[in-house]
Structure 1
Amino acid sequence: MNMNLFSQTITLNGKIFSSTDNSPIENANIFVEKTNFGSTSNSSGEFQLIFDLKDISNEITIIVDHIGFESTKINYNVNDNRNLDDVFLNPSVIQIEEVNVLSEKDDFELEIKANELTEKLSTDLATTLSYLPNINVLSFGQNATKPVIRGYSGNRFFISKNGNEFGDLSSTALDHAITLDLLQIDAIELIRGPKTLIYGPNTVGGVINTTVDYIPNPQEKPAVRLYSGSESYNNSYFGMIKIDLPYKNNQISFSGNSRNTGNQTTPLGELINTSSNNTIFDFGITNFTKKGFRNFIFEKLNMNYGIPPTQSGHIYGVDIKLFSNYYQFHLHEEINFLNFDDFHVKYLFIDYAHEEFENDAPYYDVRLAQKTHNFEMELKSNQTIVGTEFNYKKLMPDGFVWTPLTNRYNFSLYAFNETNLKSFDLLKSIRTDFLNIIPNPQMTRYSNLDINEIKNRNYFFISYSLGVRKKIDNFTIRSFFINSNRGPSIEELYSDGPHLGIYSYEIGKPDLDTESTIGFETSLEYKSENFSININPFYNFSNNYFQMDKMGLCDEEFILGYSHPCAGEDFIEWGSGSGWLYKYQIDEKKAEIKGLEINFQMKYGFFDLSYDFSNVIGDNLNSNIPLSYMNPTKHIFSTDFSLKNSNLKVRLIKLNSQNRLGEFETFTPSSMTTDLIFTKKLNACKNACCKGDLSVKINNLFDQLSYNHLSRTKDIMPEPGRNLVILYNFNI
């Protein structure tokens, strides 16, 4: 310590280090509390702190602060006449609230974290989630897959990326891929109950929120993440590299993904025209402040994939090229306003398009483009969220399709609150939506729609939910009610044209009202240290359930080279596709969907045993027949054997036969498959900052023949056979 007796100034010298690896910390802030005296550390962690004795007391508090580390307070007496000891800062776990949900999970949420995600990770989101109860895969080959949750698909649940939409058309048709690569994500949340309404009104089936690390925790040093792997059933190879570069209070991040797959193979042969090639590049820059951050993200995605051929449509298959440019601006601040302590503003612009080609054709038959603007503003506290959102979409069809160019405006207000009462917890939410849909017909007449019905549509609807949670010793009772409403999509209103990818001619219904669904769900859980059981029944009813129904079916087989046995029938559109396509039209019906889920878990030494049972029953109450596309009853048995740095899991999945058939559905036999999963933590550099994970999986170990009831190709080929998957994740 140096003291100048004439000016009464004191100079303190010191050094700042990281407690994890003893490396010096540059640009740390060092200041005397409640004064203007401060300093910063250099590249060697050294600093000089100069202050004037006449402006301070003898007892002072020195604060050492740096983004990414916990603040440290040092009590110092100026009469001690000594320099400061070396200061060691502990890294902090900075939870940047990129996802607009409360940071603490409530009991209506299920999260698949990074360590669990490795063992479940598959080619696509739907297959990854299919290892959970009551989630199955609606598919048209390996590239066109969607999750079906408790019998709900499409617009009846919300799939999000960091709490926001993808801006693609994946919810409108089976062949439209979800613009996401599984290598990007760090976790997946499955959310049900009152909190779902902060995402959107269409959440009776829940919310699937994928967490993508667009805004990483602040790094002291450059960080690199590598991910690579392969699958044998489609001869695929994939990889990702992500780099974070810190500079003072800023961080630049960029990453690249690539995935190449061959055709899907099965125990009976190859499903042709199912190969794919996907690339993603994203760039981000984040400025961190003491109370938040400002962030910009750009992501560019390209996907090229095939849809397999079928005799009922394009006999050579369809190729799809998909493009998406994603821009995000995000401001996040800690505040002190009323009871709120968190504020964020987010703007998204998504430029999306895909083109559908008859196999190997040089020009597209159908092009669907959509531009999305989304503005969101939100206030949060530990127990409350209030927010507003404005969404504008412009749909621009082109080619051999007659859906009109359409503008869609949606303005919403929403709120969620959790109140901890004396004997139970009360969860409640409400959401109001104002929806305006403005078509701009480019034709004077349409093939199946009346031009006079293609006009502006306005909707106003309110969704709300109420839930309770009660704990009694080892028992927990949870229950919620939800009234979920959604406006019809542009395609549900105004479609009139062939859909090459799924070989159908789709017809909308311009006078659709809002679809309203009420739902009830209750769960009873008993949980002790080594044992738990959860019983979870649910019931949903809709007075006007939208469904795209096939208008008819030809009982006789069509043979190439001969006239069609049903020539002239109204349920077939002639002159489309390979000459004809089945017509599908939106219809409204009374429907109920109900089911039961049971989970059992037990720990015994190094072993973890679990069993999941799930079933769902859907009924068309107008026709007294089952609803189509319902999940078959599923049983999941798994055994985990854990050691210090490795885990071995054996998983058996049994699907019951599906003989409750909706209109035009066919029977699907039962199946059982066995998976073997081995994961091991690796430490290639022999220190804490260089580590990774290796996962080796064998799906369908015994190469069993199995069919997916929700697959559009089940009459052509079964599901994949034995599949060796190798995944390697490495962090520096």
Structure 2
Amino acid sequence: MKLRLSLALSLGAVLTASAPGEAATRAGANRSLEPSLALFPAVDVVVGGVVTDTTGAPLANVQVVASGVNRAALTDERGRFEFVGLPAGTYHLDFVRIGHSSAHQVVTVPATGADVRLTVVMRVATVRLSSVNVTATPTGTDPLNVTQATVQLSGKELQRALSTSIGQTLSREPGMSSRFNGPMAATPVIRGLTGERVLVLQDGDRAGDLSSSAADHLNAVDPSTAERIEVIRGPASLLYGNNALGGVVNVISQDIPTTIPSRLTGYAMGQGESVTPGGVLNVGVTIPLAARLAVTARGGVRDFANMRVGGGAVQPNTSGNTQQAVLGTGYVGPRASVGVVYRQMDFAYGLPHAPGEEAVRLDGVRRSVALQSTVTTGLVAVPSVRIDQTLQRYAHSEIEEDGAVGTRFRLNTQTTNITARTQWGRATGAVGVQGLFRQYAPVGEEAFTPAADNENVAVFAYQEVLLGPGDTEEHSPRVQLGARYDRFSIHTKPGDQADRFGETRNRTFNNMAASLGLSVPVADGVSLTANASRGFRAPAVEELYADGFHAAAGTYDIGNPSLGVEKSTGMEVGVRAQTSRTFAQLGAYRNLIDGYIAPQALAIPTLVDGAFIPTVTFMGRDAIMTGVEGQVETKLVHRFVGGLMGDYVRAGVRGTNEVLPFIPAGRVGASLRYDNGRISGGGDVRRVFAQERVTGDELDVATASYTLLDLNATWLFTVRGRQVHSVTFRVDNATDAQYREATSRIKRFAFNPGRNVSLVYKLLY
């Protein structure tokens, strides 16, 4: 293990050590060739340009993203940007600025020759438009070309949705909902799947927390730190392996500088809200230290009181707080780039509980170090190689009402990813090797699983082949295909609990994943997509070897060591439209999951502390999930923008009338707002239907229909040509409706949040 981890770190140290040998500037200084990088030729071609508005005025604080190599630049007060050291090849550049429609450029970078210079004009935005998506493919592409359904929140859309958790922030999007277990412990649900089947990333790296293992555990990534949030809906096992059977959520904060700004840049963000009285404050700066070196420093705090539900009642024991700190550095040269970031998040929050039950609070910390490095090879077929690595330590304690610690949970995670970009004629793509290693240890009388280690080693290949007449035509028909092989093992370590959990056990799961997608443009800005994929998920330690009282679920869990791998066959078709007047994404899907693992109540309850509670084991059944989802937004008249949305998923056990638990209810919605690019105001209404297709046990109870009305207003303005200010005022659940979500894990005794008055401010400079 140490050898695996030290290899990438050693390479990072070599690249970092070479930084002082770089020229001070591109112009007027000689370039030196560092001995450690002598095999890798320098790329002399610079990609740069100017971004303006429609009047010709320069635009500052435009984020320019070269998604295929995970590089991002920020325009200065003259609208200028520059990329140094991009390997030769074709790139999709996306230009993103709050209040403006995103722009997209395809550029070809030669190995030698003249610099590539662009002039980009951005228009004031009134209709929601998708831009860069770095999560859906390893090479980056226009969203119209992605063959799976995707979601992106950024700019005004993100500020209108921002909440205390990632799950709640995304819950308004089609195909998305939240596994609600209080304000902090609300994780994403994608097309009815959550927990171990949905993977949450931060800047492309696994979050390394325990949110997937139990409903009372939080995603240890605060959405207020995001520049944007990207989602892949549907199986994404090809690129991300285990835990991506339902989809992937990537919170992108750009904590590692991947271009060097010409001046100090930064942001400040604050939010206050009434439904969980309190707020959040974040600040951050990026400081250029030299022509090739920059550092980032960021910090934030969140603090809030008990949540209010519809009707004004207070849900006790739901207050919480977090503190965050980030320190990163990045070197960007013509031959290689390397960056390292340290992140820490401390958190404490309470869990909602039914009357008469004990109040439990969680107190924990997540620490991580991430390395990202890219080397230019000078080869046409393999222009660059990227090496990423993370080391993470997560721990939390569950504190009982009398102050005693019931259980401590520790999770150490290490990941190593090596990805090579490829170019073979009309095909671009990537090949890679990935490693995931986890050491999990619950300690305490209430620990209901043994300690366990996981090892996951995988290889994958992905290719995108143009079918149209031009090699670099932006919207040519194309095929996206790939394959992946995983070896996943779990090794239990019962220690002195062998009499309860049995002796050491070992299970190994070998799996193949594959995908085939097609994107066909049918008009300017409109494309049809189809995708078929084969994914997998290995069972978790809780499902295999649990034996104890599971406080979060109120059940006594007994594992099933004979469980096999879940295998998913997903199929979906869709249409995307993205023009200056209209944004639309419509899709239908079917997901067949062989061996779907679900809890099943046994006939005989278990006596725990003088009370009988349900006994639950885990069974693998063949499941089917079928659904439709869609969203349309278009300009109407006099700067008014209207929209419609809706989604529905039906899930059950194949060949029976049995249903799967905690499936979201169908819903439809409409929105209307006035938007002139600087000032906008309006609202949206969503009707959520009753969910009566439930298992009917003590946990998955039926929920009634309800209607939610949300209102919002945003003001954007620029000061001194480069300070971008945005202020958003929101009233969520304006009618203070009292409701329960079908996906909520506490719906049998608690309601969801009531009326929320919120103010969000963000400054970019």
* TM-score, with structure 2 as normaliser: 0.78
Q: Secondary structure at the match of 2:160?
A: helix
Is 1:681 the counterpart of 2:716 in the alignment? yes
How far off its partner does 1:280 sit? 0.8
Check the 8 A contact 2:280/2:301 in 1, yes or no. yes
Is 1:140 the counterpart of 2:137 in the alignment? no
Choose between structure 1 and 2 for higher RCO, CA contacts under 8 A separated by at least 6 residues: 2
| 1:294 aligned partner | 338
How far off its partner does 1:364 sit? 0.9
Identical-pair percentage: 21
* Amino acid across the alignment from 2:562: D
Separation (CA, whole Å) in 1 of partners of 2:493 and 2:746: 36
| 1:14 aligned partner | none
How far off its partner does 1:530 sit? 4.0
Query: Which residue among 556, 561, 572 is the counterpart of 1:510?
Result: 561
Is 1:198 the counterpart of 2:249 in the alignment? no
| 2:369 aligned partner | 327
Check the 8 A contact 1:151/1:629 in 2, yes or no. yes
Compare CA radii of gyration and give the structure with the larger one: 1
Report the CA distance shift for 1:640/1:612 in structure 2 as closer, same or farther (over 3 A). same
Is 1:157 the counterpart of 2:201 in the alignment? no
Query: Which residue among 102, 109, 113 is the counterpart of 2:139?
Result: 102
Separation (CA, whole Å) in 2 of partners of 1:526 and 1:37: 48
Separation (CA, whole Å) in 2 of partners of 1:695 and 1:596: 31
Q: Secondary structure at the match of 2:378?
A: strand
How far off its partner does 1:125 sit? 0.6
Report the CA distance shift for 1:681/1:89 in structure 2 as closer, same or farther (over 3 A). closer
| 1:129 aligned partner | 170
Check the 8 A contact 1:226/1:731 in 2, yes or no. yes
| 1:77 aligned partner | none
| 1:656 aligned partner | 689
How far off its partner does 1:337 sit? 2.5
Per-residue CA deviations over 1:568-611 (Å, capped at 9, x if unaligned) read xx323423xx8554332211111111011233333223122111
Report the CA distance shift for 1:533/1:371 in structure 2 as closer, same or farther (over 3 A). closer
Query: Which residue among 538, 546, 556 is the counterpart of 1:487?
Result: 538
Check the 8 A contact 1:263/1:274 in 2, yes or no. yes
Q: Secondary structure at the match of 1:155?
A: helix
Separation (CA, whole Å) in 2 of partners of 1:186 and 1:302: 21
1:630-709 matches, within 5 Å, as: 630-664=663-697, 665-683=700-718, 686-709=719-742
Report the CA distance shift for 1:480/1:236 in structure 2 as closer, same or farther (over 3 A). same
Report the CA distance shift for 1:403/1:640 in structure 2 as closer, same or farther (over 3 A). same
* Amino acid across the alignment from 2:396: H
| 2:459 aligned partner | 413
Separation (CA, whole Å) in 1 of partners of 2:418 and 2:315: 46
How far off its partner does 1:442 sit? 1.8
Separation (CA, whole Å) in 2 of partners of 1:244 and 1:186: 14
Per-residue CA deviations over 1:330-382 (Å, capped at 9, x if unaligned) read 212333334232321111100111111212x3331111101111111111247
Check the 8 A contact 1:194/1:428 in 2, yes or no. no
Separation (CA, whole Å) in 2 of partners of 1:614 and 1:29: 52
Report the CA distance shift for 1:504/1:469 in structure 2 as closer, same or farther (over 3 A). same
| 1:404 aligned partner | 450
Report the CA distance shift for 1:202/1:304 in structure 2 as closer, same or farther (over 3 A). closer
1:60-459 matches, within 5 Å, as: 90-92=80-82, 101-105=138-142, 106-107=145-146, 108=148, 109-192=150-233, 197-216=238-257, 217-248=259-290, 249-268=292-311, 269-310=313-354, 315-359=357-401, 361-381=402-422, 383-400=428-445, 401-422=447-468, 424-443=477-496, 445-447=498-500, 451=502, 455-459=505-509
* Amino acid across the alignment from 2:440: L
Q: Secondary structure at the match of 1:91?
A: strand
Is 1:589 the counterpart of 2:625 in the alignment? no
Separation (CA, whole Å) in 2 of partners of 1:622 and 1:318: 41
Report the CA distance shift for 1:409/1:230 in structure 2 as closer, same or farther (over 3 A). same
Check the 8 A contact 1:351/1:371 in 2, yes or no. yes
* Amino acid across the alignment from 1:472: V
| 1:28 aligned partner | 25
Report the CA distance shift for 1:472/1:307 in structure 2 as closer, same or farther (over 3 A). same
- Unpaired runs of at least 5, structure 1: 1-25, 39-62, 71-87, 553-569
* Amino acid across the alignment from 1:728: Y
| 2:19 aligned partner | none
Report the CA distance shift for 1:711/1:429 in structure 2 as closer, same or farther (over 3 A). same
Separation (CA, whole Å) in 2 of partners of 1:534 and 1:201: 27
Check the 8 A contact 1:318/1:358 in 2, yes or no. yes
Is 1:621 the counterpart of 2:654 in the alignment? yes
* TM-score, with structure 1 as normaliser: 0.82
Separation (CA, whole Å) in 1 of partners of 2:393 and 2:458: 22
* Amino acid across the alignment from 2:404: Y
Report the CA distance shift for 1:388/1:649 in structure 2 as closer, same or farther (over 3 A). farther
Q: Secondary structure at the match of 1:116?
A: helix
Check the 8 A contact 2:556/2:614 in 1, yes or no. yes
Is 1:722 the counterpart of 2:759 in the alignment? no
Separation (CA, whole Å) in 2 of partners of 1:335 and 1:465: 28
Check the 8 A contact 2:215/2:745 in 1, yes or no. no
Check the 8 A contact 2:295/2:329 in 1, yes or no. yes
Per-residue CA deviations over 1:189-233 (Å, capped at 9, x if unaligned) read 112468652122443322111112212342222223111110101
Check the 8 A contact 1:194/1:416 in 2, yes or no. no
Per-residue CA deviations over 1:133-166 (Å, capped at 9, x if unaligned) read 1211111222211111111111222221122211
Separation (CA, whole Å) in 1 of partners of 2:558 and 2:329: 45
Report the CA distance shift for 1:522/1:261 in structure 2 as closer, same or farther (over 3 A). same
Separation (CA, whole Å) in 1 of partners of 2:686 and 2:479: 36
| 1:468 aligned partner | 518
Separation (CA, whole Å) in 1 of partners of 2:561 and 2:192: 25
- Report how many residues are paired: 637
Separation (CA, whole Å) in 1 of partners of 2:497 and 2:210: 26
| 1:45 aligned partner | none
Check the 8 A contact 1:482/1:518 in 2, yes or no. yes
Task: Output the aligned Cα RMSD.
Answer: 2.8
Per-residue CA deviations over 1:429-464 (Å, capped at 9, x if unaligned) read 1111011211122246555x6x26x51111111011
Check the 8 A contact 2:454/2:490 in 1, yes or no. yes
How far off its partner does 1:252 sit? 1.5
Check the 8 A contact 1:196/1:207 in 2, yes or no. no
Q: Secondary structure at the match of 1:290?
A: coil
Check the 8 A contact 1:274/1:306 in 2, yes or no. yes
Q: Secondary structure at the match of 1:600?
A: strand
Report the CA distance shift for 1:322/1:504 in structure 2 as closer, same or farther (over 3 A). farther
How far off its partner does 1:613 sit? 1.5
Check the 8 A contact 2:46/2:83 in 1, yes or no. no
Q: Secondary structure at the match of 2:614?
A: strand
Separation (CA, whole Å) in 2 of partners of 1:526 and 1:199: 27
1:532-571 matches, within 5 Å, as: 534-551=585-602, 570-571=604-605
| 2:632 aligned partner | 600
Report the CA distance shift for 1:584/1:89 in structure 2 as closer, same or farther (over 3 A). closer
Per-residue CA deviations over 1:507-528 (Å, capped at 9, x if unaligned) read 2211211111111111145677
Separation (CA, whole Å) in 2 of partners of 1:27 and 1:280: 34
How far off its partner does 1:491 sit? 2.0
Q: Secondary structure at the match of 1:629?
A: coil
Per-residue CA deviations over 1:632-663 (Å, capped at 9, x if unaligned) read 00112111311141221311111001111224
Report the CA distance shift for 1:292/1:110 in structure 2 as closer, same or farther (over 3 A). farther
Check the 8 A contact 1:636/1:653 in 2, yes or no. yes
Separation (CA, whole Å) in 1 of partners of 2:654 and 2:234: 25
